[in-house]
Amino acid sequence: MFAPASTPTAALSALCIDYRDAPLADVLQDPQLLAAFSFGHEAARVDDTRHVQVTLTPLTAAPLEVWRVNDHVQHGQRDGIAFSHGSGLQFCALELADTGDIETVAAEAYARFEAWLSESLYARPLRIWNYLDAITEGEGDAERYRRFCVGRARGIGRAQHPHELPAATAIGHAQRSGRFQLYWLAATTPGTPLENPRQVQAWRYPRQYGPQAPGFARALLPASSNMPLLLSGTAAVVGHASQHDHQLEAQLDEVLTNLQTLISSARTQRPALSPALGQRTPLKVYVRDAAAMPQVDALLAQRLPGVPRIVLHGHVCRRELLVEIDGCHV
């Protein structure tokens, strides 16, 4: 079994996720840093396993996304997977070359993901991100997102029960990168997957969306009250159908309604959560059309004043959907 130098505590310490305008070198000096993310093709890549360069172009020079815990963090690399851990939490990142066959790439990535969890004390995935090229390229069941879903299920290699599904995001690079990025947050203690009563569970999507339904929960509530609510990638979907075909502002409002509904659902189990999106709800906003990014940013400034956000050029997994948002909430 792959284990850290000391057995992690059962209770999770606070995970703090925020956006910080600071030099990356300074952030990496923090002994309690679990992970740091920079955005854009021009962002520096450094030799530190806690750092990930997300190759999605931001609207403006983006701050770093910084994850911290209340403990000294150990970090390293094993079998091509970068890891860091502390306070009962582990961050892992895996990057593979994407040569075009995304089903095979996803199958390999998720087989390695599953093998890692099976050998780790941090065996409970809470949150996953997937970034891949050309997510909606191809027609019908040949579409790359559909093939990705097939590959992911093949790599996991077993049926997943709804109670073990993590929150997740899958977004396409607007430009070819040749990279598939998978990173995740796992814990020693499982969380509680949450669903949106306005939406059909993703794992119950009908056949019209592909041969393999996506495997994720709409949000996840970690076991510890010191952890934020983890919000999956959320788009303008009601039931299982896309809403407001190619209407950007209406879709954005639908996304915000879905996020607010998830927060309200989570508060039935954890009333201490803030009742609304606010300053402690850092959001990542993915916009399909680069020319629409300033409009989305301006609309969010009106609707959610003071809410921290990073606006990124990224493609949602359905062509008619123009914007998606993920984040966390305290």
Q: Give the total residue count for the chain.
A: 330
CB 242 within 8 A of CB 174: no
Which of the 8 DSSP states describes residue 272?
T
CB 325 within 8 A of CB 297: no
Selecting among 65, 143, 195, 324, the annotated active-site residue is: 324
Output the CA angle 72-77-78, nearest 5 degrees. 125
Q: What is the dihedral of CA 19, 53, 92, 127, to 10 degrees?
A: 50
Cα–Cα distances (Å) from 294 to 257, 267, 300, in that order, read 21, 32, 10
Report the C-alpha gap between 327 and 17 in whole angstroms.
Answer: 9
Per the DSSP assignment, residues forming a β-bridge with 19 are: 65
Report the C-alpha gap between 199 and 258 in whole angstroms.
Answer: 9
Nearest residue to 88 via CA among 70, 65, 113? 70
Which residue shows structure tokens 């997994």? 317
CB 216 within 8 A of CB 232: yes
Q: SS3 of 118, please?
A: helix
CB 186 within 8 A of CB 123: yes
Pairing label, strands 229-234, 241-242? unpaired
Specify whether the backbone of 35 is left (phi greater than 0), alpha (psi in -120 to 50) or beta. beta
Euclidean distance between the first and final Cα of the chain, in Å? 33
Q: Is 119 designated active site?
A: no
CB 184 within 8 A of CB 125: yes
Active-site amino acid positions: 324
